[in-house]
């Protein structure tokens, strides 16, 4: 089972929409997938689920287990202040150590209103996942200018669609 | 006034201790400084102070104002999963836009139990601060092997002490 | 004297043109500037000026001295394979150690044919300059879509022009 | 055939020695491997093999073909000025476009005299390889304090040896 993470806790985010789209594309490619939305994290998890409270918060554990238990992962990364949302890293800081992501394959998709498509956020997360011994697919897909490129639940740019398809094929195929 | 941020919300952290040490060194160099400990953030700020709730949480605003209102900044960055704590970036995601840090000088200190001294975390935060138009001093100080190098409230390694002194001199001198 | 480095050894590059434009803007702001074009490096400097041959190649030294002797620096960074040209880093690998850039201010401009404006290249070079104890201005300017944004020796996009002006003002003002 | 790149053009480098050691370990794991030493590049390749001269230099092409033609790759990355040697990136700037490395697996080993093990250099190269659509194994191995950890052609630290073995197993196993 591939888990796709919508990497912000903002409600009803476009990251969530793009994650849903990605899920459909994975299923069209013949694999199983589900979406995990960080908007479902307990609002106080930075205290109630970290450090001395590690493992004590059932609702946090439920979300975390969907990510840690996945065979492969996708992160949809909106650009917040030149990187990905802090809440994603705080979530990761509540994961088991040694990492249950060790040896797993991960795909990254960066999205932004502006022209960048979040290359720095994808670079930063690659470093963090590398620390956890998870392997990020070389093809990191950027979706910039989201208002133009994401209309009515569909990617508008044919080249980006091709890249997403290529990324999904690699993710599904690799062990 | 220089604000030194202890960049984790873990209580009684060594980041906090190093931040206090740094404050004393700044004052010994003749400038004013205070420590902001992210352990003082409201435990639910990722919901109650972000997005639609921006600006609505007085306790969050109080901490944020100490950082946004500083003339210069220092971040003490413990290494969590190969970078800095997610809670710091979530905190930054609650800052004003355009950034009140624009044009300000920032110094970074990375700390870790292991041998790295958090170079990747300092690199990631430099990118984020750059997005906000804040300038990070070139000299980013690493304090690795914290158990050996940080004993009874004092840096043990003379070379690291020299680098910190050099960093503080530059920070105090620059406009 | 501010030195502006055109960071590729390709002859008659657009980096060179943008560097010349930048020089004019600095002079309009009342400061002195000159352009150093890496196309002027000896073609065999990776052997004749590095390692055991450090310091032995006069033509290499002449170019290097213009950079190491500058009071402040600007690097115009074209995007080659997702970062800046390797020749720039090879050039830097021939600099003195400890670095003569220590304590100096540096501004970065990223340029690209595609939509990125070389954010990763600017991030990588910031890390390298940080190692050398040089401080990179927070405002790193991206000029993407160069064919559209750079016509007849002039930046076409008003927002990019404003950012360049802002960057130059800061560079000139800072010590 | 796995190609291991000694990523400096310095003659008789320790990178070359570590690359040879790595080759033996791969062969002990039952796969074929060879070492490519960037010291074998033509000394003037930044002119004679790039830009308008792309493809025209047989000696350059010979080295490049060993890398581009490999099924998998390993880069041994010494730390030069806080990153990997510029000559490696200049070499990469002479590769075909679109990249022949697309879809291939790559392992990184960082080495340094100091305590870092070149984490920033490995991060930078990951970004560049990602641009070329090559996938870097999450486990990036750091060999710091080379004088202590590399004696008489052998890694001295058991934990580093374990990590290298783990990295080689993954590299050999993945498609």
CB–CB contact D175 A174 (8 Å) = yes
Residue of A nearest to D134 (CA): A138
Read off the CATH number of the domain in which C142 is found.
Answer: 3.40.50.360
CB–CB contact C128 D48 (8 Å) = no
Statement: the pTM of the whole predicted model exceeds 0.95: yes
Q: Which two tokens stand for residue D122?
A: 């490995």
Instruction: Identify all chain C residues contacting A116, using CB atoms and an 8 Å cutoff.
Output: 115-117, 119
How far apart are alpha carbons D122 and D85 in whole angstroms? Answer: 11
CB atoms within 10 A of CB A163: 19
Residue of D nearest to A163 (CA): D133
Choose the mutation target among B98, B118, B130, B167 for the interface with C, i.e. most C CBs under 10 Å. B130
pLDDT for B159: 97
CB–CB contact A174 D174 (8 Å) = yes
Confidence bin at C138 (pLDDT 50/70/90)? very high
Per-residue pLDDT of chain B (175 residues; tens, 9 = 90+): 999 999 999 999 999 999 999 999 999 999 999 999 999 999 999 999 999 999 999 999 999 999 999 999 999 999 999 999 999 999 999 999 999 999 999 999 999 999 999 999 999 999 999 999 999 999 999 999 999 999 999 999 999 999 999 999 999 999 8
CB–CB contact A137 D135 (8 Å) = yes
Give C155's contacts (C-beta < 8 A, 6+ positions apart).
Answer: C21, C143, C149, C161, C164
Instruction: Identify all chain A residues contacting C149, using CB atoms and an 8 Å cutoff.
Output: none
pLDDT for B113: 95
3-state secondary structure B1-43: CEEEEECCCCCCCHHHHHHHHHHHHHHHCCCCEEEEEHHHCCC
pLDDT for B66: 98
Task: Give the ipTM.
Answer: 0.97
* Cα A139 off chain centre by: 14
For C31-53, what is the mean pLDDT?
97
Query: How many independent structural domains does chain D possess?
Result: 1
How far apart are alpha carbons A1 and C104 in whole angstroms? Answer: 52
Domain range enclosing A24: 2-173
pLDDT in tens, D114-141: 999 999 999 999 999 999 999 999 999 9
Per DSSP bridges, beta strands A2-6 and A33-37 are: parallel
Nearest-by-Cβ selection for B123 from C127, C132, C137: C127
CB–CB contact B119 D115 (8 Å) = no
* Cα C163 off chain centre by: 17
CB atoms within 10 A of CB A21: 19
Per DSSP bridges, beta strands D105-111 and D72-78 are: parallel
Give B44's contacts (C-beta < 8 A, 6+ positions apart).
Answer: A43, A44
For C66-84, what is the mean pLDDT?
98
pLDDT in tens, A36-91: 999 999 999 999 999 999 999 999 999 999 999 999 999 999 999 999 999 999 99
Nearest-by-Cβ selection for C120 from D51, D95, D127: D127
pLDDT for B7: 98
Nearest-by-Cβ selection for A89 from B45, B89, B131: B89
At CB < 8 Å, which residues of chain D contact A? 102-103, 123, 126-127, 129-130, 132-140, 170, 173-175
Helices and strands in chain D, H and E counts: 7, 8
């Amino acid at each position: 089972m591939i888990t796709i993470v919508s990497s912000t806790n903002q409600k009803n985010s476009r990251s969530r929409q793009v994650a849903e789209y990605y899920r459909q594309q994975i299923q069209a490619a013949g694999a199983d997938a589900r979406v995990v939305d960080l908007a479902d994290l307990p609002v106080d998890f930075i205290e109630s689920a970290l450090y001395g409270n590690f493992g004590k918060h059932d609702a946090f554990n439920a979300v975390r287990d969907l990510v840690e238990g996945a065979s492969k992962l996708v992160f949809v990364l909106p650009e917040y202040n030149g990187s990905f949302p802090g809440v994603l890293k705080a979530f990761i800081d509540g994961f088991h150590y040694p990492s249950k992501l060790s040896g797993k394959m991960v795909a990254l998709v960066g999205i932004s209103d502006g022209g960048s498509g979040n290359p720095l956020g994808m670079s930063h997360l690659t470093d963090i996942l590398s620390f956890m011994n998870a392997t990020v697919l070389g093809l990191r897909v950027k979706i910039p200018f989201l208002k133009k490129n994401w209309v009515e639940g569909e990617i508008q740019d044919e080249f980006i669609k091709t890249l997403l398809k290529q990324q999904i094929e690699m993710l599904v195929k690799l062990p």
